[in-house]
Amino acid sequence: MDPSLTPPADRLDLADWRRRVADLYAEVRRASRADPVAAHALWREERERLYREHPQSPVPSGSRRAFRALHFAYDPAVRFEVRIVLPAESADGGVAEVEGGARAPGAGVRGSLALPNSGSAELSFRRLGTVSLPFAVGARTLAVFWMDGYAGGIFLPFRDLTNGHETYGAGRYVLDGAKSADLGGDPEAGTIVIDFNFAYQPSCAYDPRWACPLAPPENRLDVAIRAGERVA
């Protein structure tokens, strides 16, 4: 949902929601350095409480009291710290090309692009680069995006073979810097932490009134990621 459409009376609640989510991820980043499993348990517990109790929860108000999040068991094999491979940039500062010489899907002026969206709203992104993820079945590549508008930030949506039966049909998010869903990394080395145990359903999975950017075709994995939040 476009925050500009939020009624004025709700904006303090929205500010509090963002503050609480940011505090949660800050604690998760600290805890995960020593114990990722304990950090994941903290994230699950506090996130479920927020979704159940907070007035800005994406869960419809009539369903919040009974809300319980479902998750796969923690799998350390799908936690990675990987380097972001930055593409060559054009003279105007936009992304020039991606692998194979093709332009990024939806690429427009100065490298901007529009990702698929569950609603009519359109948010502008840039293709920041790619990450190669060393899964046990072989490395897979995902595109990493930067959100131009809203609050900015790294954005990494993905789809996998669990969608539509074990997880939300339109995919999940593993990073969304605009919502403070950031697991950390090393800026000097150009790395980010991608832990699929923290993958979660977008807000539109709970209520269609939310308009959510979704994973483009290049971020559809041909493997099943049985980690993170699930629906069944």
Question: Would you say 160 and 189 are in contact if contact means Cβ atoms under 8 Å apart?
Answer: no
Task: Render the burial of 107-135: b for 16+ CB within 10 Å, e for the rest.
Answer: beeebbbebeebeeeebbbbbbbbbebee
Q: What is the pLDDT of residue 7?
A: 63
Per-10-residue mean pLDDT for the chain, 232 residues long?
A: 57 92 97 96 97 96 95 98 80 37 37 74 85 98 89 92 96 94 94 97 91 92 98 92
Instruction: Specify the DSSP element, H or E, that contains 141.
Output: strand 138-147
Q: What is the pLDDT of residue 113?
A: 80
- Map out the domains of the chain as residue ranges: 70-230
- Predicted TM-score (pTM) of the model is 0.85
What token pair was written down for 99?
């692998």
Q: What is the pLDDT of residue 106?
A: 39
Eight-class DSSP state of 104? P
C-alpha closest to that of 232 among 74, 78, 72: 72
User: For the residues of 72-86, what is the DSSP string, one character each?
Assistant: PPP-GGGEEEEE-BP
Q: What is the pLDDT of residue 209?
A: 86
Q: Which residues contact 140 (CB under 8 A, 6 or more apart)?
A: 132, 133, 221, 222, 223
Q: What is the pLDDT of residue 5?
A: 52
Separation between Cα atoms, residue 161 and residue 166, nearest integer Å: 9
